[in-house]
Amino acid sequence: MADSSKTEKATQKKREDERKKGNVFQSSDVVSALSVLALFYTLKIVFPFIYSYLSGFLAKYFIYTKTVNALSAGFVIDILKDSIIALFLLAGPVMLVSVAVGIIASGMQTRFKFSKENLKMKFSRLSPVQGFKRLLSIRSVVELVKSMMKITVMGFILYTGYMDIAKQFTRLMYEDVLTATAFILDSILGMVLRLSIAFVGIAVLDYLYQWWDYERNIKMSKQEIKEEYKQLEGDPQIKGQIRERQRKMSAARMMQQVPTADVIVRNPTHFAVALRYDIEKNRAPIVVAKGQDYMAFRIIEIAERHQIPMTENKPLARALYGAVEVNSEIPPEYYAVLAEIMAWVYSMKRS
């Protein structure tokens, strides 16, 4: 029984984990129905070859029985070799097609992914209690209903097919053996084809049920989805701590650059932007540090300690703080006003 708290569809990670465990949905009826259908269609196609080859094989050894007085070891070995070759030639192609279709039908359902988990020894499979639970499960009821449907369909098709052949018995008495045999074989193959088509229909219903049952069993609770999200994305608290640590490290590195600034533009304590300009290296002044409130106070404090020139310009300080990232050049629209400030700074340095 599925847990009533598990109401959410399984995530992609959950599906991949289940697949690694070997828990994939597939219908064995699809494999069986397609294999049988392929088997008899192949048999119908190659039957003329089988008839011709088998006729020649039997005729060959019937003639030998008239000419050979005693069986020799060599003759027996020849018969054995020819029989093995006949077996491979007659049954081989039919069986290979059936096996190939079975592998393809199974592989398409499992995406050709193989898991060793189902090969491991699990004592729960030997438990009488677990076996009793499986016996009383919904799956067992479905399998019982499915078996009854197969028996009913098989009985109906075989009965109607037999009655059709029986009606022709009188006519077949006046036909030659080859014609009668061909008619009977064709009627049998027709019944097999109808059976196969009916079983394919049952297999489709079984496939839909297996899909529904699989989706129901791998459903997740909201708590499981939260836990999985934490595993994939990390605990939000830990991520917050990491971001805070990264922010502090970034701020510390930024503060280390304040002494290299040429001027501080402030507002007067709410915003502070430290600028550096090297005519030979930079096309425009670079923001080496910026801060608001407490960080602005720290920048001003460090600038005073290192005797860096400061100028108050509220609109400019606020604009540079919002528009320019640390270690980036200022935009062209601020060149004019900053040119005046840098000229003031250079004049102070010369004096």
The single residue listed with the structure tokens 């070997």 is 22
- Residue 157: the pLDDT is 81
For residues 345 and 303, is the Cβ–Cβ distance under 8 A?
no
Q: Kindly state the average pLDDT of the residues 86-95.
A: 80
Quote the strand ranges of 254-293, DSSP E.
Answer: 263-266, 271-276, 286-292
What pLDDT sits at residue 125? 53
What pTM was computed for the model? 0.43
Place of tokens 């009188």: 170
Strand pairing report for 286-292 and 271-276: antiparallel
Region(s) of the chain under CATH 3.40.1690.10: 256-350
Tokens 């600028």: give the residue.
Answer: 275
Amino acid 6: pLDDT: 74
State the pairing for strand pair 310-312/263-266: parallel
pLDDT in tens, 209-264: 888 887 887 888 777 777 777 766 665 666 667 677 877 887 888 888 888 888 88
Determine the pLDDT at residue 140.
72
Helix axes 138-166, 177-217, angle to 10 degrees: 170
Mean pLDDT computed over every residue of the chain: 77
Residues ≥6 apart with Cβ < 8 Å to 296: 266, 267, 269, 270, 271, 272
More confident residue, 197 or 289: 289
From residue 294, give the alpha-carbon distance in Å to each of 124, 245, 271, 281, 305: 64, 17, 9, 31, 17
At 239, the amino acid letter reads: K
CATH number of 256-350: 3.40.1690.10
Residue 268 has pLDDT above 80, yes or no: no
Confidence of residue 14 (pLDDT cuts 50, 70, 90): confident
Query: What is the per-residue pLDDT across 292-301, written as a single tens digit (0 to 9) for each?
Result: 888 888 888 8
Model confidence pLDDT, tens digit, residues 41-84: 787 788 778 778 877 777 777 666 666 555 566 667 777 887 88
Q: Which tens digits make up the pLDDT trace of 144-154?
A: 787 788 788 88
On the CB side of 86, CA atoms within 13 Å amount to 17
305-348 pLDDT tens trace: 888 888 888 888 888 888 888 888 888 888 888 888 888 888 87
pLDDT for residue 250: 76
Provide the Cα torsion 206, 211, 217, 218; round to 10°.
160
Structure tokens at 20: 């690694």
Residues 3, 217: contact at Cβ < 8 Å?
Answer: no
How do residues 163-187 score in pLDDT, each as one tens digit? 877 777 777 777 776 677 777 777 7
Partners of 331 in beta bridges: none
Which three-class secondary structure state does DSSP give residue 329? strand
